[in-house]
Amino acid sequence: MSKDLTKEQLLKNISALLENARNKVVVAVNQTIVLTYFEIGRMIVEDEQNGEDRAEYGKAILKDMSLYLTEKFGKGFSVENLDRMRFFYKTYSEQISSTVLTNSQNLQENQIQQTPNINFNLSWSHYLKLMRIKDTNERKFYEIESFKNNWSLRELQRQYDSALYTRLSLSKNKEEILQLSEKGQIVEKPKDLIKDPYILEFLGLSEKPHYSENELESELIDKLEHFLLELGTGFTFVARQNRITFDEKHFKVDLVFYNRILKCFVLIDLKIGELKHQDIGQMQMYVNFYDREIKLDDENKTIGIILCQDKSEALVQYTLPEDNEQIFASKYFTVLPSKEDFINILNSDNGKIS
């Protein structure tokens, strides 16, 4: 090895060490700030409970506290921010209590349970968003996924606006939904990867009567990072328009991914308009080819996902075998549905994975 290569590797190693240290400092600072705000909230709430008229007392004490802390420590201690800290404590102290009651197997009636230590792994900005989510299980799910996937506040907002938790919950029972809130998205089998519908609003496509599958594919590739986030956990990009050839005939798979968790290829075909049974047959051929010619012996069976604008549940059901675990058809939207549209989706059969 030359001296230049050795020097280059040394510089890379030092850079990696410093980058890691910097990240740890940022995490430590965030945790300290959030924990401090949690404690300030606790003090406000406990002091507030000692006042005779809680509402009026609370307003008065926050105003006096804001003036004092702003003069002593500068910006960040407005009445509004102090009230957020108060709300933050109330929200997360209730969540802690809920977790304790859920996880305690032999909790005796009237037994005093000491509050456990809580780790705040996200920024204060993340928690400002999270504490506005009323459903505790949904809030815990987004908190876990934000930390696990290193979501920025903007990405957390996007995933929440696209109703990720709701869509993952569509085909799950109560126990599985509770598991989502405790562990985040768990990928154990192919069906766990599939969301229906997929929301592709990040493409910026207008909902016009006609555009081609190639246009849709090009937009997806241009915004590949967002598409990977929309797909879910563990996806890596492999190829686009991947050619398959046999008997002097050529076919092309629109998009090929690999999922590191399931250890299998994931093929995606893009279809404009309503799904046809020929589309399912074509995907079955692609999956069979990959299973027999491409995948290694220690890899799992290939998964095929057909993204379509519309589908018949009956067509999917009767085209695929009853024990199907490899081919899935999901609807996609190029703009986010309205709240009313989402309610209709959730209440209709078409909103459920077959």
Distances (CA, A) of 167 to 151, 152, 159, 278: 18, 21, 11, 27
Q: Read off the pLDDT band of 242 (50, 70, 90).
A: confident
Q: In terms of domains, do 97 and 228 share one?
A: no
Q: Is there a single domain that holds both residue 219 and residue 310?
A: yes
Residues linked to residue 330 through DSSP beta bridges, in sequence order: 307
Do residues 277 and 260 lie in contact, with contact meaning Cβ atoms separated by under 8 Å?
no
pTM as predicted: 0.58
Instruction: Give yes or no: residues 149 and 220 share one domain.
Output: no
Query: Does 273 reside within a domain?
Result: yes
Mean pLDDT of 199-216: 63
Q: How would residue 130 be classed by pLDDT, with cut points 50, 70 and 90? A: very high
Domain hosting 284: range is: 188-351
**Predicted local distance difference test score (pLDDT) of residue 314:** 73
- Do residue 211 and residue 283 come from a single domain? yes
Any idea what the CATH number is for the domain that residue 279 is in?
Answer: 3.40.1350.10
- Between 334 and 253, where is the model more confident? 253
What the block records as the tokens of 148 is 């696990």
What are the beta bridge partners of residue 305?
268, 328
Cα–Cα distance for residue pair 130/91, rounded to 1 Å:
10
159 shares a domain with 194: no
* Residue 168, domain member (yes or no): yes
Asked whether residue 227 falls in the same domain as residue 341, the answer is yes
> Could you give the number of structural domains in the chain?
3
Residue 77, SS3 per DSSP: coil
Residue 124 DSSP code? H
Phi, psi torsion values for 233, nearest 5 degrees: -85, 135
Percentage of the chain with pLDDT > 70?
67
